């Protein structure tokens, strides 16, 4: 039974994930023939032993969970939204990959608070006015 293109794409995606997981496991899991276990003796000066932890590692307090900072949002018009969808293209979004006019890029950057200044030749300076 022949497979349609969607089934082939799904199979390819699943296979890519399996290969990626396998590579990640090989990279992060300890290996029996670890190359980086060679001891290196100090050749200059006296070793500083005062920086050793005062508590054993197993009795240290666990780090407090870091709360994610909320992502700031900026309201833009439809033209600028389409420009940003093109700039930050993701296949699962509604954006269309490709080129966009330079004037649309400048308009979108100005709408989110950037100051634009034409410099010599093709150079432009985009400065975040909120940071000043």
What phi, psi does 53 have (nearest 5°)? -65, 145
Question: Quick check: pTM over 0.85?
Answer: no
Residue 67 placed within a domain: no
Q: What is the pLDDT of residues 11-23, one digit of tens each?
A: 878 888 888 777 7
Residue 72 placed within a domain: no
For residue 95, the enclosing domain spans 79-132
Query: Which of 109, 127, 128 is CA-nearest to residue 119?
Result: 127
Q: Where are the beta strands (DSSP E) in 14-123?
A: 114-118
- The reported pLDDT for the residue numbered 104 is 92
- The reported pLDDT for the residue numbered 103 is 92
3-class SS at 95?
A: coil
Q: Evaluate if residue 31 carries a pLDDT over 60.
A: no
Distance from CA of residue 117 to its chain's centroid? 29
Residue 103 placed within a domain: yes
Q: What is the pLDDT of residues 48-105, one digit of tens each?
A: 666 555 555 556 676 777 888 888 888 899 999 888 888 888 777 666 678 889 999 9
Residue 115 placed within a domain: yes
pLDDT top residue among 37 and 111: 111
Helix or strand run (H / E) with residue 86: helix 78-87
- At residue 75's C-alpha, the angle toward residues 94 and 104, to 5°, is 65
Contact predicate 124/118, CB 8 Å: yes
Residue 13 placed within a domain: no
- The reported pLDDT for the residue numbered 132 is 47
> What's the number of domains the chain is made of?
1
Distance CA 41, CA 120 (A): 55
């Amino acid at each position: 039974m022949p497979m349609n293109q969607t089934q082939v794409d799904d199979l390819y995606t699943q296979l890519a994930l399996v290969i990626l997981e396998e590579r990640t496991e090989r990279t992060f899991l300890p290996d029996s023939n670890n190359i980086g276990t060679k001891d290196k003796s100090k050749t200059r000066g006296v070793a500083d032993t005062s920086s050793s932890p005062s508590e054993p590692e197993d009795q240290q307090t666990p780090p407090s969970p870091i709360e994610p900072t909320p992502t700031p949002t900026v309201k833009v018009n439809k033209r600028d939204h389409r420009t940003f969808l093109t700039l930050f293209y993701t296949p699962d979004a509604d954006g269309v990959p490709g080129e966009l006019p330079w004037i649309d890029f400048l308009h979108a950057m100005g709408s989110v608070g950037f100051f634009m200044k034409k410099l010599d030749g093709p150079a432009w300076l985009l400065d975040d006015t909120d940071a000043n």
